[in-house]
Structure 1
Amino acid sequence: FRKSLEPNVEKLRGPVLNEIAQRFVSHWGLNFTTKDVSSLWFLCKQEASLLNTTSQACALFNSYEVGLLEWADDIELFIVKGYGNSLNYRMGVPLLEDVIQSMEEAIKASEDGLAPGSYEKARLRIAHAETLLPFSCLIGLFLDGPEFEQILQERPLSLPPRPPQKRTWHGSVIVPFAGNNMLVLQRCPANDNSSSEYFVQVLHNEHPIRVAGCGNTDFCPFEVFKERIAGPHLKHDYDVLCSAER
């Protein structure tokens, strides 16, 4: 499946690498190829991420070139692992089922008056970016309201715009090293404005994030989260999704 998406990625990345290779040839007077540019960009990212160093490989690129290359990386993430195809993120359906089940069990334990410590307080899952990114898309992070409606209808989203236009889709923000999502079930006293007592709070990389599918609020009533955000995805069967011809 991923192989089938690569030509679409290359159509967008190729011109960027070609443009920067030509700029390098003009500026440095050396015969740089697109492969050279790609390798130097990879080295730049590793040095910046792991060593906090931008004075070596990264110094070869100006701010315009960095912006273009970041966008090219973001496009690849979007098409191959993100909102570019609904199958990308619906692979995370079993994880979402597990989240809903664990929260329902916690609510039942609380309603039954079980003593603290007698039921599960947290469920931890360790995975790579290839799991974290689809799950973030599954619950509609980094979207506005109309875009959220589009993914519920399995309609493709527009690609992130090329610089200098602004975009919300940044791979370095969505899946950095040690990236994580937390879905926290909160119990709050019901008031006149809400009949719900249980709320879901989503944190991305330890920071609260507003959920487009819940009116861009920080706290989403559990039943709303279950029905509006999880429900449309949970109608899909994982085995059927993975066996379908694409």
Structure 2
Amino acid sequence: MYAGFFALLLFGSFFDSPKATFAASVTFKPTTPSLGVPENIQHLWANFAPYFAAAEYPAPPPGCVINQVERHGARFPTASNGAQIQSTVQKLQAVRDFKVPRLEFLRNFTYDLGHDDLVPFGAAQSFDAGQLHFVRYSELISPNKLPFVRSTSAQRVVDSATNWTAGFSFASQNRFTPVLSVVLSESANDTLDDSSCPDAGSGDEQTNVWQAIYTAPLHAFFEQAAPGANLTDTDISNLIALCPFETVAKEKPSQFCDLFNQTTFEGFEYFEDLGKFYGNGYGQELGPVQGVGYVNELIARLTNSPVQDATQTNRTLDSSPQTFPLDRTIYADFSHDNQMISIYSAMGLFRPAQPLSTTTPDPRRTWLASKLVPFSAKLVTERLECDRKQFVRILVDDSLQPLELCGGDKNGLCELDAFVQSQGFARSNGGGLFQRCFA
């Protein structure tokens, strides 16, 4: 699992607000450093891409209230992934005679990345997200209506949450200091993690097909440049992944980035796109059902009503006003990228007309991990009140979603009741699929 998300729920009006002038006086002071890698390359790092807005945030129509979700910031590789990467590097370092000067740096290279934890760059991403969200939504905050913050229990996600609260407090000039109120254990029922479906499959079969295709030219290169290394398809993907991992960890371009061109990164991007689609998305039968519990929690917050769910929700926590209040203006939840993919799919977002091909990438596809789940990704569900009617609009990394699924208009708005009705998959507890998680 490579990442996580954050959920924010806001209730209030954006007009005639006594805090509007205070919000306008706040200066957003970004702390995330530049990485020194061209953006067109960074955006091909799929779910390892540093956060970038997929579109300019569109101001809401008059009288609006908002929900939002964001992934944790940049991190080290997971422990298992890091061990695989280190093994690949050792294969190359065992080569006696490199035939290409670009590989000579490996003579003195030491793999020294940690594992799983948030890196300082990722902490800065989360801190900046907290600042931005205060500046954007400060008119919805009061001392009695602070953001209610939850996190899944992985330390990097907890750290993302607390860095977000620190950024939010900093931007408010310490007037408002939200805290992390609930940490959901990943060993129990948890709507912020995809560990509640043990019999879910993986996307390895599909990703392996494409991996063999896109790495084929690179095998020829490494056989000539590093004779005897005998790299596998997976080894080559590991080396490509070292480019973003080292870059975000060291906050300067990794020398591994220089080993590959844009075409290679495009192939790697599609490899990760397929992994998300067939691992937790529409291509995995038990992928969307893992997002059902969170969608039902979202419906409860949008409608100010008790959670109705029989999947992975923690019924004890969700039934308590202390651990699942329904009277806040902002709710913030932090989780993982795989879980975000399951939530998108449970909601019906980004559904392609056809399953993703394992051999031929569609250059017009909207299923792009770099735009769905980059580090610090944001899924935003806004509840808006216009002319005494309740509406919903959804943004992913500030890109407004059309919401055809519930009759969305040109502003991406659909009536709240229509949105709730459109979520039949979640409201039916996944149509019986959740039981198949425990066959």
TM-score bucket of the superposed structures, by smaller chain: 0.7 to 0.9
Selected match of 1:45 from 227, 231, 244: 244
Letter in 2 for 1:177: F
Q: Percent identity?
A: 22
State the 1:243 CA deviation. Answer: 4.0
Q: What TM-score comes out, normalization by structure 1 length?
A: 0.74
Counterpart position of 1:200: 392
Q: How many residues align?
A: 216
> Matched residue of 2:287: which SS?
helix
Alpha-carbon displacement from aligned partner over 1:52-83 (angstroms, at most 9, x marks no partner): 64462111111111111111111111111212
Kept in 1: contact 2:286–2:437 (CA 8 A)? no
State the 1:237 CA deviation. Answer: 5.4
Give the Cα–Cα distance (whole angstroms) in 2 for the partners of residues 77 and 91 of structure 1: 13
Inter-CA distance 54–25: structure 2 relative to 1 (3 Å threshold): farther
Counterpart position of 1:224: 418
Kept in 2: contact 1:132–1:175 (CA 8 A)? yes
Counterpart position of 1:80: 279
> Matched residue of 1:91: which SS?
helix
Letter in 2 for 1:182: V
1:41-120 paired onto structure 2 within 5 Å: 41-50=240-249, 53-54=252-253, 56-105=255-304, 119-120=327-328
Q: Is 1:25 the counterpart of 2:223 in the alignment? A: yes
Inter-CA distance 13–214: structure 2 relative to 1 (3 Å threshold): same
Kept in 2: contact 1:44–1:58 (CA 8 A)? yes
State the 1:240 CA deviation. Answer: 5.9
Pairwise CA RMSD: 2.9
Inter-CA distance 164–244: structure 2 relative to 1 (3 Å threshold): closer
State the 1:216 CA deviation. Answer: 5.5
Q: Is 1:132 the counterpart of 2:340 in the alignment? A: yes
Q: Is 1:233 the counterpart of 2:430 in the alignment? A: no
Counterpart position of 1:167: 365
Structure with more of its chain in helix, by fraction = 1
Inter-CA distance 225–65: structure 2 relative to 1 (3 Å threshold): same
Letter in 2 for 1:233: A
Give the Cα–Cα distance (whole angstroms) in 1 for the partners of residues 432 and 345 of structure 2: 20
State the 1:174 CA deviation. Answer: 0.7
Give the Cα–Cα distance (whole angstroms) in 1 for the partners of residues 364 and 222 of structure 2: 26
Alpha-carbon displacement from aligned partner over 1:107-127 (angstroms, at most 9, x marks no partner): xxxxxxxxxxx9322222111
Kept in 2: contact 1:91–1:134 (CA 8 A)? yes
State the 1:89 CA deviation. Answer: 1.4
> Matched residue of 2:332: which SS?
coil
Letter in 2 for 1:77: K
Inter-CA distance 72–139: structure 2 relative to 1 (3 Å threshold): same
State the 1:49 CA deviation. Answer: 4.5
State the 1:236 CA deviation. Answer: 2.4
Inter-CA distance 135–165: structure 2 relative to 1 (3 Å threshold): same
> Matched residue of 2:382: which SS?
strand
Counterpart position of 1:141: 349
Task: Structure 2: state its 5+ residue gaps.
Answer: 1-198, 306-325
Q: What TM-score comes out, normalization by structure 2 length?
A: 0.44
State the 1:31 CA deviation. Answer: 4.4
Larger RCO (CA under 8 A, 6+ residues apart): 2
Counterpart position of 2:119: none
Inter-CA distance 2–49: structure 2 relative to 1 (3 Å threshold): farther
Counterpart position of 1:14: 212
Inter-CA distance 164–142: structure 2 relative to 1 (3 Å threshold): closer
State the 1:207 CA deviation. Answer: 3.8
Letter in 2 for 1:83: Y
Inter-CA distance 166–54: structure 2 relative to 1 (3 Å threshold): farther
State the 1:87 CA deviation. Answer: 1.6
Counterpart position of 2:106: none
Give the Cα–Cα distance (whole angstroms) in 2 for the partners of residues 166 and 206 of structure 1: 20
Inter-CA distance 13–2: structure 2 relative to 1 (3 Å threshold): farther
Counterpart position of 1:184: 382
> Matched residue of 1:166: which SS?
coil
